[in-house]
Structure formats: structure tokens, C-alpha cells
Amino acid sequence: MILHHSGRATAGRIGILATLLAEQKAITHREIEQRLPQSLQLDRVTLYRTLEWLVENGLIHKITSDDRVWRYHANHESHSHQHAHFKCTGCAQVICLDSLPTEQSWPLPTGYRFQEIELTVKGLCANCC
């Protein structure tokens, strides 16, 4: 748990990051709240702001989804900065796929500039199959 970043290493930040590190999949604000220990009951807003801070400092990343809910996941070294995700259409679980969708230049209209790619594979997880 290295927090050599702009800002303070508070109990909340450490606990939230630990929670995310302990999780294989990407989880929602709600799920994080539920997993936090009794000793770490913090306000929803603080949780939102802490997650934002962890994202800005490159310790976690967040994933958009079609259910309008952000999911958060720790930045393990195993997967690169940019990677694809899988979302189960049965249980809504989201996992990170380590394979990059290749930055093969996408044929954009002329004058358009490429920045990044966002790729989600949908299907059924092993449990929901």
C-alpha cells in the first residue's frame, strides 16, 4: 500500500483501496460500501470523493456500463493501463480482460483524432451459463 501521492494517506483511502485490492472483479460504490469493515463507516459522499481521488492518482480505474453504474477496480500490475472488460448479462458482474483490443488505428472520419478505446464484451459468466 504505497501512497506517495498528492494528499494524505487516511484510514478511509487505505481501507477502500484494500477493499478493492481484495476483489477479483470490478465492484460498484454500493458493493464497496457493504464490504467496508464496521470500523470504517464513512459517508457516501466521502466514498465517492475518495474513489475519485484514487482514480486521479492512478491507484484504481473505473468502468462505465450500460446500467449507469460505475464499477471500480484496483490497478494490478498484471493488466496494462488500457484493457477490455467483460460484463455478464446475467449477474451484472464485471471483470477485467487482460488482452488489449489492439490499438490498431480505427478508421475514423478525416479530421478526427484518436484518443482511446473502450471495449466491453458481453456474455454469460461461468455461474450464469
Partner DNA sequence: ACAATGACGCAACATTGTTGCATTTGTATC
Partner DNA sequence: GATACAAATGCAACAATGTTGCGTCATTGT
Site for Mn ion in 69-128 (CB under 5 A): 73, 96
Task: Give how many residues touch DNA by CB under 7 A.
Answer: 25
Binding site partner of 21, from Zn ion, a copy of itself, DNA, none, Cβ cut-off 5-8 A by kind: none
Task: Write each residue from 12 to 51 as x if it is in contact with DNA (CB under 7 A), else as -, in one continuous string.
Answer: xx--------------xxx----------xxxxxx-xxx-
State how far the alpha carbon of 14 is from the alpha carbons of 2, 10, 42, in Å: 9, 6, 13
Residue 8, CB half-sphere, CA atoms under 13 Å: how many?
Answer: 3
Query: 55 in helix, strand or coil?
Result: helix
**3-state per-residue secondary structure call for 11-47:** HHHHHHHHHHHCCCCEEEHHHHHHHCCHHHCCCHHHH
2-10, 37-45, 50-58, 82-90 -> range binding a copy of itself (CB under 8 A): 82-90
Closest separation in Å from C-beta 53 to DNA: 7
In the Cβ-directed half-sphere of 26, how many Cα atoms lie within 13 Å? 24
Q: Report how far residue 109's alpha carbon sits from residue 94's, in angstroms, rounded to the nearest whole number.
A: 31
CB of 81 to DNA, least distance (A): 21
Q: Which of residues 89-118 bind a copy of itself (CB under 8 A)?
A: 89, 95, 97, 99, 101, 106-118
Residues that bind Zn ion (CB under 5 A): 88, 90-91, 93, 125, 128
